[in-house]
Amino acid sequence: MSKKVAMDDIVSLCKRRGFIYQGSEVYGGLAGTWDYGPLGVQLKRHIMDLWWKTFVDNRDDMYGVDAAILMNQKVWQASGHVDTFNDPLIEDVETKRRYRLDHLLEDNGVNPEGMTLEQMAKTIQDKDIRSPDGNELGNARQFNMMFETKIGPMADTIAINLSRDNIEKLYEKGGDFTSYLTSENVDKTGPHVVFLRPETAQGIFTNYKNIVDSFYPDLPFGIAQMGKAFRNEISPRDFVFRSREFEQMEVEYFVHPDNWQEQFEQWRTDIKSFLSQLGLPEDSVHEHEVPEDDRAHYSERTIDFMFDYPHKSDELLGLAYRTDFDLKNIQDHSGKSMEYIVKGGGERFIPHVIEPSFGVERAIMAVLVSAFTQDEVNGEARNYLKLPTHLAPYRVAVSPLLKNKEELVKKAREVYDLLKKEFGNVAWDDNGNIGKRYRRQDEIGTPHCVVIDFDTIEKDGTVTVRNRDTTEQERVSIDELTQKLN
Ligand code: GAP
């Protein structure tokens, strides 16, 4: 059984120690947005770097891309997001507050899996489920989660479709375009509307042909991307778990349709191995075979990897078999062939796709929950983060025993510089007494603390190295320090 960690413990540690703050907090916040502080940035970078190293750098069948967040509107029409990227919404008739209909059902003990919008709405009525404020709920409807914005200088006024003929007339009139603001010239849904990408995947699919043309890789091969995604979540909640702005790490793995099952199984194994590198205990991760009715519109098979979060066991990442859905749609909408031609002029076909899709915020939360540990040291309760060394914000902290002894500080600075050169992420900590420093570093997950004391400068040139997990201390000579910490 995995241990129970309270959400409040994680949220308060994140704020207090500079991992994660509420977005725009100084102005009262903006729901569903979060800012990363100095330690959060480090942790997040380490997770993302590990992912990139594991799935891109360490393999020879993978190509990285970094596509633009703003993409041609046709991308989201072809992908099906304009028509189907919806969540069910219901409104409190009194307060006008909006809620995720399926979440309200779950909160009232009803499992909404497999239910249509109408079935969910009927259950609300039949069971007389009220809003969290105790009010009646109105009509249910689908809500598209894509954020929309406008592009170009016409955006703040209106977009006008000017024909070449009209443009010439406009110049004749000295540039006065107001006479052309007729309904036939005004294009309300025109190309000036763009969406903030709700998944990084489409930036991969739209570059599939570029990668094939530039590199002509053998199948199977993958294209990887990590970066921001945006979803207008009806009710963001559970800390960073459901945010409106978040990061994804996605691979689209292109395979021959005949052997997608084999590749799917391989990804299942590779995902589990990555999760163990994140330090997640095996018994806190559960695979959920998503039933057909609940799968995304593009998927013929999905396994959700669930993690035991403090709020409940919930989706950490998804592994989907997207068939040729995306490339086929791009081919149909763009008129450009997405066929792969096997080298030597062999078989031609549109590859099928296996997609492991990781959410960075959900990985961060899972890492923090897994690492959060409570024990007792010398009769006192202690909270600490038992983070894997490769994820810890700081690899090691360096302290002079006393901060007002110049000779100790000088030597400690030398040791700090040495370690900084080796590891980069090294903390200088001379605040408060040694006990307080250890507690602080334990709480942010620093695996080792190095202390320079009078023995270092007067006796044998050794320093104290203290282990976060065991709290044991040993003396190590400065010459052997980097080796010891490696
Ligand atoms: N390209 C496939 C795709 O986007 P998804 O299941 O909608 O599939 C993939 O999202 C992953 O992105 C999820 O498993 C989760 O880790 C993360 N994710 C999705 N919505 C999120 C949100 N609102 N906040 C934080 N992470 C989210």
Residue 362 Cβ contacting ligand 1 at under 6 Å = yes
Give 187's pLDDT tier (boundaries 50, 70, 90): very low
pLDDT of residue 4: 85
> Which residues does 160 contact at the CB level (< 8 Å), separation at least 6?
154, 177, 180, 181, 185, 186, 187
> Could you write out the DSSP letters of every residue in 121-140?
HHHHHHTT---TTS--EEEE
Which of 326, 361, 364 is the pocket-test mutation for ligand 1 (most atoms within 8 Å of CB)? Answer: 361
Q: Whose CA is nearest to atom 21 of ligand 1?
A: 242
Q: Whose CA is nearest to atom 27 of ligand 1?
A: 359
Q: In whole angstroms, give the CA distance from residue 428 to residue 452.
A: 12
Give pLDDT tens digits for 192-226.
789 999 999 999 999 999 999 999 999 999 999 99
Q: Whose CA is nearest to atom 4 of ligand 1?
A: 199
pLDDT of residue 189: 47
* Closest ligand 1 atom, residue 362 Cα: 16
Whether omega for the bond prior to residue 132 falls within 30 degrees of 0, making it cis, is no
Radius of gyration of the chain (CA): 27
Residue 419 Cβ contacting ligand 1 at under 6 Å = no
Q: In whole angstroms, give the CA distance from residue 367 to residue 359.
A: 12
Give 157's pLDDT tier (boundaries 50, 70, 90): very low
- Region for 424 from its dihedrals, namely left if φ exceeds 0, alpha if ψ lies in -120 to 50, beta otherwise: left
Give pLDDT tens digits for 266-316.
999 999 999 999 999 999 999 999 999 889 989 999 999 999 999 999 999
pTM of the model: 0.90
pLDDT of residue 183: 45
Share of residues in the chain with pLDDT > 70 (%) = 91
Q: Taking Cα atoms as reference points, which of 341, 270, 257, 268 lies closest to residue 300?
A: 257
Q: In whole angstroms, give the CA distance from residue 458 to residue 153.
A: 70
Give pLDDT tens digits for 61-96.
999 999 999 999 899 999 999 988 999 999 999 999
Residue 91 Cβ contacting ligand 1 at under 6 Å = no
Distance 317 CA to ligand 1 centre (A): 7
Share of residues in the chain with pLDDT > 90 (%) = 86
Helix/strand/coil for 152: coil
- Six token digits for residue 75: 């991308």
Q: In whole angstroms, give the CA distance from residue 451 to residue 434.
A: 9
Q: In whole angstroms, give the CA distance from residue 366 to residue 241.
A: 10
Residue 246 Cβ contacting ligand 1 at under 6 Å = yes
Residue 318 Cβ contacting ligand 1 at under 6 Å = yes
Residue 243 Cβ contacting ligand 1 at under 6 Å = yes
CA geometry: angle 299, 302, 308, nearest 5 deg? 145
* Closest ligand 1 atom, residue 199 Cα: 4
Q: Whose CA is nearest to atom 14 of ligand 1?
A: 317
| Mean pLDDT computed over 102-124 | 93
pLDDT of residue 192: 78
pLDDT tops 60 at residue 369: yes
Give 176's pLDDT tier (boundaries 50, 70, 90): low
Which of 34, 226, 362 is the pocket-test mutation for ligand 1 (most atoms within 8 Å of CB)? Answer: 362
Q: Is 244 in contact with 233 (CB distance < 8 Å)?
A: yes
- List alpha helices for 372-476, DSSP H: 406-423, 434-444, 454-458
Residue 315 Cβ contacting ligand 1 at under 6 Å = yes
Q: Is 367 in contact with 387 (CB distance < 8 Å)?
A: yes
Give pLDDT tens digits for 30-43.
999 999 999 999 99
Residue 32 Cβ contacting ligand 1 at under 6 Å = no
pLDDT of residue 446: 98
Residue 242 Cβ contacting ligand 1 at under 6 Å = yes
Q: Whose CA is nearest to atom 17 of ligand 1?
A: 359
Residue 199 Cβ contacting ligand 1 at under 6 Å = yes
- Region for 29 from its dihedrals, namely left if φ exceeds 0, alpha if ψ lies in -120 to 50, beta otherwise: left
Which of 48, 144, 199 is the pocket-test mutation for ligand 1 (most atoms within 8 Å of CB)? Answer: 199
Residue 233 Cβ contacting ligand 1 at under 6 Å = yes
Give 344's pLDDT tier (boundaries 50, 70, 90): confident
Q: Whose CA is nearest to atom 11 of ligand 1?
A: 359
Residue 34 Cβ contacting ligand 1 at under 6 Å = no
Distance 485 CA to ligand 1 centre (A): 36
Q: What letters, b where the CB count within 10 A reaches 16 and e where it falls short, cover 402-436?
A: beebeebbebbeebbebbbeeeeebbebbeeebee
Q: Taking Cα atoms as reference points, which of 155, 364, 166, 145 lies closest to residue 248?
A: 364
Q: Whose CA is nearest to atom 19 of ligand 1?
A: 359
pLDDT of residue 410: 96
